[in-house]
Amino acid sequence: MDNESSDSGVETLIRWAHGEQHVDTTSLAWRRTASERLREPTLSVCMANEVVELASNALVTIVRVADNTGFAAACNLGIRLALSEATCTHVWLLNNDTIVDRRALAALLARSARDERIGVCGSTLLYYDSPDTIQSFGGVFHPARGGGTNLGAGGSLRQLPSTELVEAKMDYVVGASMLTSRRFLEDVGPMEESYFLYFEELNWSRRARRSFKHAWARDSLVFHKEGASIGTSSRTRSSDLSIYCYNLNLLRFLQEFHRALLPLGVAIVVSKFFISAMNRDRAAMRVISRVIGDFLWSRGSTRDGVTRLKNYAYGHRAAAEAKRRSEAQGPVDAVAPRGSVGED
């Protein structure tokens, strides 16, 4: 799925398929990937409003979406296309900023096959630039703290815990790599598109917990360039889009699944405004103010709010650019026309 990307991702994939694209393989993570092509990748590129099924003669089908409809909406489009194939038993949702170990998919399928109740199975996520360091085995959500924890974060690949221990603690599978069964998708339904970004996996898990379980395939290794798609990571300041979606969806999620904790969630978001003020981060202050206002007074989805946020940001940048140009030109002397008031 190409969700109105602003880069040249599709063109890069086309060049790669033709053997014309140089790939930077300096990261040690590449040592665990397949060393040669097992099959020449044939591509089919189409628009979302044109495609109804996967191209039969293409190994890779790229679907271009005219508007950025969010993570869940793009995933759902891909899911529908995959399920149009009668032989499809599972759908693997994989971030575009990852590379995978050659045995990653086989390990996911093997773990899922051991228990028919498994609806979603996750991988061992590792940092792309530090491929022996764990990013996550799975997620744990703490409603009273308004945030989550990545199980295993910062640990070593050489010391993996048992499958049973990890799965007993997991609340959800992290979205960078999720293998979903056909039965899960047909029974539980698609991802919640109104979130746009963040909390989709947790929402899915909450909706499915009475009928399905989530799992972890410890030998499925996926190397993740964390946050590359949205301009954020745990090691840098989050983008305005990330701040907006995370905090608004936190409140929406608490309202739906932990209503008693919603006042505490509002207090947590408000506290972030004052922390941003202490750090003199005016952009974050504006975004958090918009989060609070949209949650309290707007009935639209997070996706609607993202559109308003983008329009505001565009207008703000345009005004700043106009001011910068005006200041660069300097003051303009006023010249009174001949015959005007004040002329001798």
Query: Are the beta carbons of 124 and 224 closer than 8 angstroms?
Result: no
Give the length of the chain: 344
286-300 pLDDT per residue, tens: 999 999 999 988 777
Which residues, at least 6 apart from 262, have a Cβ–Cβ distance to it below 8 Å? 251, 254, 255
pLDDT of residue 89: 96
Residue 198 backbone zone (phi > 0: left; psi -120 to 50: alpha; other: beta): left
Residue the block writes with tokens 């994989």: 94
Residue 224: how many CA atoms within 13 Å on its side-chain side? 25
Selection from 17, 11, 62 nearest residue 42 by Cα: 17
User: Which residue stretches of the chain have pLDDT < 50?
Assistant: 228-231, 314-315, 318-319, 323, 332-344
Please give the Cα distance from 231 to 209 (Å, whole number).
Answer: 32
Q: Please tell me the pTM assigned to this model.
A: 0.82
Beta-bridged to residue 3, according to DSSP, are 65
140-167 pLDDT per residue, tens: 999 999 999 999 999 999 999 999 999 9
Please give the Cα distance from 121 to 290 (Å, whole number).
Answer: 35
Query: Are the beta carbons of 56 and 143 closer than 8 angstroms?
Result: no
The continuous run of DSSP H or E covering 124 comes out as strand 118-127
Residue 327 backbone zone (phi > 0: left; psi -120 to 50: alpha; other: beta): alpha
